Amino acid sequence: MRKMVVFVVILLLLVLLVSGGLFYQQLNRKQPVKAVDLLVPVGASSGQIARLLEQHQLIRSALSFRLWLRIKHLDQSLRSGVYHFEKPATMLEVIERLQQGDVMRFTVTVPEGLRSDEVLQLLADKTAVPLQKWRQALTTLVQGDSEGLLLPETWQYNKPLDAKRLLRTMIKAQQSVLDSLTMDSNEQMRLRIMASILEKETSLERERPLVSAAIHNRLRIGMPLQMDPTVIYGIYRTQGAFSGNIHRADLKKDTPWNSYTRKGLPPTPICNPGRASLLAAAAPAAVDYLYFVADGSGGHAFATTLAEHDRNVRQWVALERKRSHGK
DSSP letters for 166-231: HHHHHHHHHHHHHHTT-S-HHHHHHHHHHHHHHHHH---GGGHHHHHHHHHHHHHHT-----HHHH
7 three-state secondary structure: helix
According to DSSP, the β-strands at 81-85 and 106-109 are unpaired
Res 61: pLDDT: 87
Res 13: pLDDT: 39
- Is the separation of the CB atoms in 319 and 227 below 8 Å? no
Mean pLDDT by 10 residues, the chain (327 residues): 47 41 59 84 91 90 88 88 90 90 93 97 96 97 96 94 96 98 97 98 96 98 97 94 87 96 97 98 97 90 95 88 71
Res 327: pLDDT: 55
Q: How far is 48 from 44, CA to CA, in rounded Å?
A: 6
Q: Which residues contact 154 (CB under 8 A, 6 or more apart)?
A: 107, 108, 109, 110
Torsion of CA 231, 234, 240, 241, to 10 degrees: 10
Res 30: pLDDT: 81
Q: How far is 102 from 82, CA to CA, in rounded Å?
A: 9
The closest alpha carbon to 37, from 81, 3, 4, belongs to 81
List the domains of the chain with CATH numbers.
29-104 (3.30.1490.480), 116-289 (no CATH)
User: Nearest 5 degrees, angle CA 14-CA 19-CA 23?
Assistant: 150
Q: How far is 293 from 308, CA to CA, in rounded Å?
A: 11
- Is the separation of the CB atoms in 125 and 149 below 8 Å? no
For 301-321, letters b (16+ CB in 10 Å) and e give bbbeeeeebeebeeebeeeee
Res 242: pLDDT: 87
Res 225: pLDDT: 97
Number of residues assigned to the chain: 327
Res 21: pLDDT: 45
The closest alpha carbon to 241, from 230, 233, 231, belongs to 233
